[in-house]
Structure 1
Amino acid sequence: MKSFTINQNDAGQRISKFVEKTVPALPNNLLYKYFRLKRIKLNKKRCQPQDKLQAGDLVELYINDEFFGEGRQDLAFLKVPSSLNIIYEDENIMLVDKKPGLVVHEDDNNTPDTLINRILHYLYEKGEYDPEQENSFVPALCNRIDRNTGGIVIAAKNAQSLRILNQKVKDRELVKLYLCLVHGVPEPKSATLKDFLLKDSSRNQVRIYRNQVPGSKTIITRYKTLETNGKLSLLEVDLKTGRTHQIRAHMAFYGHPLVGDTKYGTNAQNKGLGYSYQALYAYKLRFAFQTDGGILSYLDGREFCVENVPFAKEIAKR
């Protein structure tokens, strides 16, 4: 039998979810069987999978040791650098400027050097995260950015902040603006584009259509031209929908692929420009809460920006 005292980072979740995180090797069918057999107890009493945990609760698991493995804690993140480009940090969240080329989570190649692992290492060194002191919580990212796209990524340091931010992202109460450098000069200089996107997972690529086709989803992209030299244009983009490769594919569909993007542009267009990644950056974040922000209410109305986007001054140079 193993017992766990629920802390603030464990509180607020269903006990079934807590057990899933604490004993990941336990098959789902056994999990619910053990609830029926009273081998999972809450405060010395029988409980139901949907019961919510509170700080100070006692969870007792009468589960074979084999399901716990040799140890629940994984310190693999200590093998990666702890260096980060931090835009903002407080006791609840971090805003990190992810550079192109760094993945946010482990990919199909099990790349260990990820943004989240760097964040865990950083917080471990600061004494703000210790796996040995946590039952089920691990600091987590609240948004994702493709490997070859740079920009602001939000990390939650505690469970309450994570729940709030995940809901705010879902309800679109965070405004994320992008900068991109495109070929040509969009006409009109500013517009809201509405079309349909169909994802081809086998090729990791998408296609854009004027009219809806089976399996396609609506996309809405608002852009504004900030600067142009007749050959290249710097745009600010506000995504009203967040689909895979939306900015890259949508701008290419209208004849203005991103500089450095050979998936939706061409090698010929990019020859001699010196870009190994698409010129796309999630450069600005604004907290625009429409509902109560709880412990994060102090962030409402605040805006954060990446000061030095690599390609932002490209037009002036040419």
Structure 2
Amino acid sequence: MREYYITKNDSGQRLNKFLEKAVPLLPGGMMHKYLRLKRIKVNGKRTEAAYRLCEGDNVQLYLNDEYFEAPREEEAFRRIQTPQLRIVYEDENILLADKAPGMVVHADEHGDANTLIAHIQAYLYQSGAWDPDDAASFAPALCNRIDRNTGGIVIAAKTAEALRILNDKIKDRELEKRYLCIVHGRPRPPEGLIENYLRRDEKRKQVTLHKTRVPGAKTARTRYRTLAAQGKLSLVECELLTGRTHQIRAHMASIGCPLLGDGKYGTNELNRPYGETGQALYAYKLTFRFEQDAGALSYLNGRTFTVRDVPFVQKYFPAFRL
């Protein structure tokens, strides 16, 4: 028999969700069978799969050892001796990190373990803010992601409650995200709204835009405004009204102003004189605009967080001030 005492970070979730993480090799059908047979109990009693765990609950598992995951290799965060993080904001619930261009947020198909989430977990572990042995199913997690070559603010939840709230708020579009980018040419008009349908091609890892809805396409809306212009380049602020893959990159290219350094939606001919090989795009501003109750995160409502030292702005528009 194994038992877990539910901490704050594991509380609030359904019992079946907890079991999927705590006993990853237990099939769903067997889980429900063992709940009926009272081989899985909470506080010594038969419990439904939909029961929401509370802090202090005792989950008792009368299961064979074969259902428990064998000890894994040391997690990636344990191999990081000195976390490399630029922290924009941190409190007991969340951490806002300024991701550097070139870093991946999660391990990709290449198995890169030098990820943003690994550095965040290493930082929280080494600072004592998170003990992986203290929570059976929760680990600090990212609430949003940005491309490898895009820099900017990424949200990490330090508690399970914060993760659930922020996932809901992002789904309901109650977070306002603004990006800075440098584009080739001059957007016409200088500010406006780009709205069409975007379809993702998984094989090519690229998106296509369509004026009318086609199978597999989703609405994509970007509001932009030109902040400065110099030479053949323009500094543009974009607000994501929807959050689709490569949305800003594809939208700006669609109006004849591809991002500087973007070889996927722009051209090498345009980028070659500048020597840039990654898109000049930065998630520089985040505002929490909660329309519904945000529970433990209500104190964040109306707050804005900004990265002011964006590298490509300093390089190409040194006189511009955010």
Band the TM-score falls in, shorter-chain normalisation: over 0.9
Distance 1:106 1:126 in 2: 23
The aligned residue for residue 247 of structure 2 is: 246
Closer, same or farther: CA 73–55 of 1 in aligned 2, 3 Å: farther
| SS of the residue 2:273 aligns to | coil
CA drift of 1:110 comes to 1.6
Distance 2:215 2:78 in 1: 46
The aligned residue for residue 234 of structure 1 is: 235
The aligned residue for residue 41 of structure 1 is: 41
CA drift of 1:69 comes to 3.2
Distance 1:196 1:245 in 2: 12
Distance 2:253 2:146 in 1: 19
Distance 2:135 2:73 in 1: 9
The aligned residue for residue 168 of structure 2 is: 167
Distance 1:271 1:99 in 2: 22
Consecutive unaligned residues of structure 1, counting only runs of 5 or more, are: none
The aligned residue for residue 125 of structure 2 is: 124
The aligned residue for residue 98 of structure 2 is: 97
Question: With structure 2 as the length reference, what TM-score do the two structures score?
Answer: 0.95
Using the aligned pairs only, state the percent identity: 56
Distance 1:208 1:139 in 2: 35
The aligned residue for residue 211 of structure 2 is: 210
Letter in 2 for 1:251: M
CA drift of 1:76 comes to 2.9
| SS of the residue 1:132 aligns to | coil
Distance 2:212 2:120 in 1: 42
The aligned residue for residue 30 of structure 1 is: 30
Closer, same or farther: CA 23–74 of 1 in aligned 2, 3 Å: farther
Alignment of 1:188-199 (within 5 A): 188-199=189-200
Moved more, 196-205 or 213-222: 213-222
Closer, same or farther: CA 264–159 of 1 in aligned 2, 3 Å: same
Letter in 1 for 2:66: E
CA drift of 1:202 comes to 0.7
Please say if residues 38 and 46 of structure 1, whose CA atoms lie closer than 8 Å, have aligned partners that are also in contact.
yes
Closer, same or farther: CA 3–249 of 1 in aligned 2, 3 Å: same
Question: With structure 1 as the length reference, what TM-score do the two structures score?
Answer: 0.96
| SS of the residue 1:4 aligns to | strand
Aligned residues: 318
The aligned residue for residue 267 of structure 1 is: 268
Distance 1:308 1:268 in 2: 28
The aligned residue for residue 309 of structure 2 is: 308
Distance 2:71 2:78 in 1: 17
The aligned residue for residue 3 of structure 1 is: 3
Closer, same or farther: CA 53–273 of 1 in aligned 2, 3 Å: same
| SS of the residue 1:122 aligns to | helix
